[in-house]
Amino acid sequence: MSNIPQVFLGSGSKAMPLVGMGTAVYPFAPSETMRSAILRAIELGYRHFDTAALYQSELPLGEAIAEALRCGLIKSRDELFITSKLWCSDAQHDRVLPALHRTLQNLQLEHLDLYLIHWPASAKPGRYELPFPKEELLPFDTNSVWEAMEKCQKLGLTKFIGVSNFSCKKLETLLATARIPPAVDQVEVNPLWQQKKLREFCTAKGIQICAYSPLGARGTLWGTDCVMECDVLKEIAAAKGRTLAQVCLRWVYEQGDCVLVKSFDEKRMKENLDILDWELNEEERHKISQIPQQKGFPGLEFVSIDGPYKSPAELWDGEI
């Protein structure tokens, strides 16, 4: 079994494995393939699983966890670190707690390890879709939604709370009034979108970055081919005798970020764990630091001339 390094979040007693398995498959839909892949991942040593109300992967993840317990792959649910996320249609003060209860019911769990606000955006209740009709976008009230997230933690329904897709400015706004600071900001990170400014800010504030799309998320709504087609990364991978994916994942891991990677292919699942006992050298790190930066997912689905964010610059507070 893989011995994946862990990081303690805040002053909590539960540590988060620094390599996790994502479960977002586009188009979003639960499947038997997903359930069996998660079960195999647990066999291979994965202990951190990332889901969300949006992904429709909570049910198969819950079924896989229950089966892993039944057949003795794990002795206790506490061996796992489970993250889920609040979707925009529930990002209103009075909808947060019911949304978490639904998530826990789907997962067949009594508590999460980490519950995140998926986007700094709110929409009319009812839909768990992306994209959704832009006329359904509503103003996002950071303070009241976070207050409800804090209640979830105080009730013991999640060990930690955090955010996703928050800029430095949005984190500053949140930290100004938060009684419980966010433990995590889950954002896009890869060699083509390195997030240096955000990482410096989060390090200073004690917030752990979790990286989604570390390989560019090719084939999804939020992904591009650019990472996997990058010549610099291809050259480093060839010189190292590693796959390009392994070079990307190792680079993210070396930044101190938690890396979330999604593959249901067993060979790739094994390769994605094989990043812990080697490292990039100084020259390779320098080459990667010089790669021109381009964000893969600008979040145009949350931008509307009639909505709270009129431009990508407003959504990301110029950090794009």
CB count, 10 Å around CB of 234? 13
Catalytic residue among 55, 115, 212, 253: 55
Q: Is 55 a catalytic residue?
A: yes
Identify whether the C-beta of residue 46 lies closer than 8 Å to the C-beta of residue 269. yes
Give strand pairing partners of 48.
81
β strands within 44-199, DSSP E:
48-50, 81-86, 112-117, 122-123, 137-138, 158-164, 184-188
CB count, 10 Å around CB of 77? 17
Give strand pairing partners of 115.
84, 161
111 annotated ligand binder: no
DSSP helix/strand/coil, 253: helix
Give strand pairing partners of 212.
188
CA 154 to centroid of chain Cα atoms: 23
The CA distance from 283 to 27, in Å, is 39
The CA distance from 115 to 83, in Å, is 6
Q: If you ran DSSP here, which 8-state letter would residue 190 be given? A: B
Measured CA distances, 266 to 11, 24, 32, 227 (Å): 35, 17, 15, 22
The CA distance from 296 to 222, in Å, is 7
Binding site listing: 118
Annotated binding site for substrate: 118
Catalytic positions are 55
